[in-house]
Amino acid sequence: MSKTQRPEPKPGVMDIDAYVPGKSAAPAGVKLYKLSSNENPLGASPAAMDAVRKLADKMEFYPDGSSARLREAIAAAHGLNPANIVCSNGSDEIIGLLAQTYLRPGDEAIYTRHGFLVYRNYIQAAGAVPVVAEENAERADIDAVIALVTPKTRVVFLANPNNPTGTYVPFEEVRRLHAALPENVLLVLDAAYAEYVRRNDYEAGIELVAGNQNVVMTRTFSKVHGLGGIRIGWAYAPAHIIDAMNRMRGPFNVNAAAIEAGVAAMGDRTHVERSVAHNNHWLAWTTAELEKLGLRVTPSVGNFILMHFDGSSTTAEKADAHLTAKGLILRRVSGYGFANALRMTIGTEEANRGVVAALKDLLGK
């Protein structure tokens, strides 16, 4: 069959760069330390694990299509109305739903230079035009975003904190951005790493959503809750946006194991606090140790750091190969515009010390 006789994707689909996840394999015979996907080194809540085990003899039943118990658990933990919450198969599904729901061919959607790569993918998949706002010192520049708003703008995506830089925007700046947007432009606040942030001038976006009709906050269970493999995301949004997303999402988009694990995880504050405390300690320690080696580290409030090899005696490519040989798997971030940098998830004590020791050896320090 010739190319002209076979089904072809709609225009723009083949222009999308497929998302490439972090590596997850070490050389044969070498212990694996996976530090490429910002996973929780303490794992999932014991309560969440137990909840999934108890589901093993009920797998023939469909899950609750509305994820009611999960929405109620989230609402109770954050003081929200469950009717203003929608749950999803990871928070990236929410981003895709919003793009498909609110972007038409020819519309424009803005995101920042080093923002999450799936923003561009979902914008393109909707037939819309991705518009990139430059950053300042690897942090979102609100003035640059505002300057790009046109009558064609329909959505602004802002990751706060941002991945892979780990930087954040103080909430007064977020409010200033919102105030500058027309009422028909949707502001999407991607707060996947919100639980890790310990800054007095940071907010995830709950109050801004509650007081407006054009703001959505997205969250995930994949990071601090350690449930990346289960895939749970959620959004808090005005009722009219929740209604639209519920019409667009799949009828059983959150599986039964995810619902049970999410309910249990949301109730385990001890696990969250242990995870945040571990991250606070080792984020500071690892940053300081890498800077002693002469590497520049972008200041991070997440559970990962971005280390730069410009001006060092090696390159990110060589460092990545050296670390991989020792089973220390970090993330190349060339696709984000950082050709000579690596992103490292804050891992266990053994993993963090292992990375520092391996780089010390490589750099001759």
Q: Tell me the residue type at 324.
A: T
pLDDT tens digits, 43-52: 999 999 999 9
Q: CATH topology for 46-268?
A: Aspartate Aminotransferase; domain 2 (3.40.640)
pLDDT digits (tens, 9 = 90+) for 72-114: 999 999 999 999 999 999 999 999 999 999 999 999 999 999 9
Question: Cα(262)–Cα(268) distance, rounded to whole angstroms?
Answer: 10
Going from N- to C-terminal start, the domains of the chain cover: 3-44+270-362, 46-268
Does the pLDDT at position 256 exceed 70?
yes
pLDDT for the residue 9: 85
The answer on pLDDT for 4 being more than 80 is: no
Same fold across 3-44+270-362 and 46-268: no
Contact 56, 285 (CB under 8 A): no
Residues 209-233, buried b or exposed e (16+ Cβ, 10 A)? beeeebbbbbbbbbbbbbbbebbbb
**pLDDT tens digits, 279-294:** 999 999 999 999 999 9
* Cα–Cα distances in angstroms (integers) from residue 103 to residues 66, 130, 155, 308, in the given order: 25, 11, 8, 36
pLDDT for res 28:
78
Contact between 226 and 275 under an 8 Å Cβ cutoff? The reply is yes
CA atoms within 13 A on the CB side of 150: 11
Task: Write the CATH number of the domain with boundaries 3-44+270-362.
Answer: 3.90.1150.10
Q: What was the pLDDT predicted at 20?
A: 75
Average confidence (pLDDT) over 242-269: 97
Cβ atoms of 180 and 210 within 8 Å: the answer is no
- The residue among 20 and 213 whose pLDDT is bigger is 213
Calculated CA dihedral for residues 201, 182, 123, 162, nearest 10 degrees: -10
pLDDT digits (tens, 9 = 90+) for 292-330: 999 999 999 999 999 999 999 999 999 999 999 999 999
Tokens of 338: 């950082």
The whole-number pLDDT of residue 264 equals 98
What's at 118, amino acid-wise? V
Are residues 302 and 192 in contact, defined by beta-carbon separation less than 8 angstroms? no
Token pair recorded at residue 32 = 């694996």
Torsion of CA 284, 285, 286, 291, to 10 degrees: 90
What does the pLDDT look like over 122-176, one tens digit per residue? 999 999 999 999 999 999 999 999 999 999 999 999 999 999 999 999 999 999 9
As a whole number of angstroms, the distance between CA 282 and CA 304 comes to 10
* CA 68 – CA 71 distance, rounded (Å): 5
Dist CA 356 CA 29 (whole Å): 21
